[in-house]
């Protein structure tokens, strides 16, 4: 199958010796060889054979006519002179419009040239078209030399200059930081004042910048400040966890600029300069007493900045943003971003982690491990190797503990489940004397928890001696004021409970000044 030549191309065709062309045509049309065999015989490439035969057929030549023509006539037939159009007569190109079109997704200079040639058949060839565009672009400001696709990148940074905000009560001035965001394709600019460059202000400014534009770019390009990058690296920078959460929530990629490479974020470098000259310089003589007043003044000047017309391009930042960038932005998520900070915490021996002075429990198996802590306004979440292991309502009482029973070991959990009310209620099932003794034991302790073990020991005696004997032993212990585990155990071991006659009324207690009780001996007690 013979090849073809693009008739619209003005690139000069490679000329082949006329004698060799005549020989190629003879071998093809008279000897019946294939194109590859002809290429091998003549010592030329197959594509050259295809081109020469295509030219011969387009000119209407056959072998009988080609054999009779002289070399000059055959050359003119195959390579007719190209009609050249003087440069002055070629249609002018709006290079500013070409530059703007190149910011669209999928738009290339080759595509724009093809569309240009369809409109202007006598226009420039592709190589000249590219050369002239390069010359025009070289005369444009340096900040425009990078071509950014519409909706692709948002550049963010802080101004070096600050604005003083005076406290009306004390007269003290606080330096407000100026956050700047610039959209890559349109130079559309956002600016606002915050109290600091801290994480909360940094995240809040991003959220308000997204809302200002009404959509999301694919990439956000920040500097390497601590609120954005925890560990700078040329190849794999480590993002601040909260900043990473923001990127995940909004579905954007964060690509920090390289350290000491301002050209990586040249858009916002120029944007910072423009904000300082066109906004902050105009506010230098004004005095502000609140951050809200300062931001209101910035917003008014920001409208004028975005509507100011370009010098070398058509339109303004706002018009270019509305026509080019906004249609390419992605929609904002339905729910807003929930701000949360990340910290590190180590699990202590009591399976609690200290966070801002309060202690939160985690599963006891994690003792001594270091966990990631996510702090939001209302919740505290703890993660081990990216897996959430505990979640608590956030508390602000310093020194206090928030504990979940399922985080405790079994022995601790059983102990924690006992309360004075539960012990008394359980002992009532055995008998009224047992319940009375338990209640008396709990009431004689300074802290009820101190009596838990004694009460549990008394109740467990029923498993060995039976509930009837335990009830009788507790009745006797109440009569002799022996409200303790040792007294009840001694009564049962000595069988004193069996000497009581259930039909007889309870014997009155003997009270006399000559009778000494247990307290007389200074609390000396025999070991269990």
Question: Residue 528: what pLDDT?
Answer: 46
pLDDT of residue 290: 93
pLDDT tens digits for range 299-317: 999 999 999 998 877 889 9
Which pLDDT value is given to residue 264?
66
Q: How many CB atoms lie within 10 A of CB 391?
A: 12
Q: How far is CA 356 from the centre of its chain?
A: 24
Highest mean pLDDT among 21-35, 69-83, 328-342: 328-342
Query: Residue 379 — pLDDT band, cuts 50, 70, 90?
Result: very high
pLDDT digits (tens, 9 = 90+) for 52-68: 888 888 878 777 777 77
Q: How confident is the model at residue 2 (pLDDT cuts 50, 70, 90)?
A: very low
Q: Greater confidence, 261 or 439?
A: 439
Among 72-76, 141-145, 231-235, the range with the most confident prediction by mean pLDDT is 231-235
> Does residue 341 contact residue 242 with C-beta atoms inside 8 Å?
yes
Contact (Cβ atoms closer than 8 angstroms) between residue 336 and residue 326: no
Band (pLDDT 50/70/90 cuts) for residue 12 is: very low
Cα 474 to the chain's mean position, in Å? 66
Mean pLDDT calculated for residue range 337-364: 91
DSSP H or E stretch at residue 486: helix 485-494
What pLDDT is stored for residue 524 in this prediction? 47
Task: Identify which of 308, 300, 240 has the alpha carbon closest to the alpha carbon of residue 274.
Answer: 308
For the cut 50, the answer to whether the pLDDT of residue 127 exceeds it is yes
| Average pLDDT value for residue range 186-199 | 94
Q: Residue 430 in 3-state DSSP? A: coil
Mean pLDDT confidence for 134-145: 64
Q: Quote the pLDDT of residue 520.
A: 58
- Higher pLDDT, residue 206 or 455: 206
Question: Tell me: the pLDDT tens digits for 259-292?
Answer: 777 776 778 888 899 999 889 988 988 999 999 9
Distance CA 265, CA 182 (A): 10
Q: Which residues contact 311 (CB under 8 A, 6 or more apart)?
A: none
Residue 424 has pLDDT above 90, yes or no: no
Beta bridge partners of 353: 360
Helix (H) or strand (E) holding 300: helix 291-307
Check residue 147 and give its pLDDT.
Answer: 66
Spatial distance between the Cα atoms of 384 and 400, rounded to a whole number of angstroms: 23
pTM: 0.54
Res 68: pLDDT: 74
> pLDDT class for 190, splitting at 50, 70, 90?
very high
Q: Quick one: pLDDT at residue 318?
A: 93
Residues 6+ apart with CB under 8 A from 278: 301, 304, 305, 308
**Range with the largest mean pLDDT of 204-218, 309-323, 395-409, 453-467:** 204-218
Q: What is the pLDDT of residue 395?
A: 92
| Percent over 70 (pLDDT), the chain | 84
Quickly list DSSP for 3-16: ----TT--SPPPP-
Q: What is the mean pLDDT of the chain?
A: 82
14 vs 487, more confident: 487
pLDDT value at 97 more than 60: yes
Instruction: Encode pLDDT of 198-244 as tens digits.
Output: 999 999 999 999 999 999 999 999 988 888 898 888 777 888 999 99
Measure the CA–CA gap between 337 and 432, rounded to whole angstroms: 60
Sequence-separated (6 or more) residues with CB below 8 Å from residue 527: none
């Amino acid at each position: 199958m013979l090849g073809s030549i693009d008739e619209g191309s003005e690139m000069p065709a490679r000329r082949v010796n006329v004698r060799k062309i005549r020989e190629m045509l003879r071998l093809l049309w008279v000897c019946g060889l294939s194109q590859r065999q002809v290429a091998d015989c003549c010592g030329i490439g197959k594509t050259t054979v295809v081109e020469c035969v295509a030219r011969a057929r387009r000119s209407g030549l056959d072998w009988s006519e080609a054999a009779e023509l002289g070399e000059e006539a055959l050359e003119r037939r195959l390579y007719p002179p190209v009609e050249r159009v003087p440069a002055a007569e070629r249609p002018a190109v709006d290079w500013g419009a070409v530059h703007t079109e190149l910011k669209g997704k999928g738009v290339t200079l080759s595509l724009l040239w093809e569309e240009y040639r369809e409109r202007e058949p006598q226009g420039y060839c592709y190589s000249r078209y590219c050369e002239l565009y390069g010359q025009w672009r070289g005369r444009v400001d340096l900040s425009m030399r990078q071509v950014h696709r519409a909706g692709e990148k948002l550049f963010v940074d802080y101004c070096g200059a600050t604005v003083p905000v005076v406290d009306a009560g004390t007269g003290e001035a606080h330096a407000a930081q100026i956050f700047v965001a610039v959209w890559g394709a349109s130079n559309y600019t956002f600016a606002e004042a915050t109290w600091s460059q801290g994480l909360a202000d940094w995240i809040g400014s991003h959220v308000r910048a997204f809302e200002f534009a009404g959509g999301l770019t694919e990439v956000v390009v920040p500097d390497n400040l601590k609120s954005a990058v925890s560990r700078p690296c040329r190849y794999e920078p480590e993002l601040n966890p909260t900043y990473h959460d923001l990127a995940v929530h909004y579905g954007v990629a964060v690509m920090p600029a390289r350290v000491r490479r301002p050209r990586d974020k040249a858009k916002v470098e120029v944007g910072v300069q423009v904000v300082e000259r066109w906004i902050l310089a105009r506010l230098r003589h004004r005095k502000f007493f609140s951050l809200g007043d300062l931001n209101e003044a910035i917003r008014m000047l920001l409208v004028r900045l975005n509507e100011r017309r370009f010098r070398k391009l058509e339109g303004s930042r706002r018009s270019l943003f509305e026509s080019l960038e906004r249609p390419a932005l992605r929609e904002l998520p339905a729910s807003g971003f929930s701000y949360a900070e990340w910290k590190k915490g180590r699990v202590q021996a009591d399976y609690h982690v200290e966070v801002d002075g309060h202690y939160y429990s985690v599963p006891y198996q994690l003792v001594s491990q270091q966990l990631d802590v996510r702090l939001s306004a209302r919740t505290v979440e703890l993660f081990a190797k990216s897996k959430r292991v505990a979640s608590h309502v956030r508390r602000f009482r310093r020194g206090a503990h928030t504990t979940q029973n399922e985080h405790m070991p079994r022995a601790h959990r059983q102990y924690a489940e006992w309360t004075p009310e539960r012990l008394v209620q359980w002992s009532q099932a055995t008998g009224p004397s047992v319940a009375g003794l338990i209640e008396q034991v709990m009431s004689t302790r300074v802290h009820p928890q101190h009596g838990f073990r004694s009460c549990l020991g008394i109740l467990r005696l029923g498993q060995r001696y039976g509930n009837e004997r335990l009830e009788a032993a507790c009745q006797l212990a109440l009569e002799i004021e022996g409200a303790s585990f040792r007294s009840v155990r001694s009564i049962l071991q000595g069988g004193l409970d069996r000497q009581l006659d259930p039909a007889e009324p309870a014997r009155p207690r003997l009270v006399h000044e000559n009778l000494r009780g247990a307290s007389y001996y200074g609390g000396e007690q025999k070991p269990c």
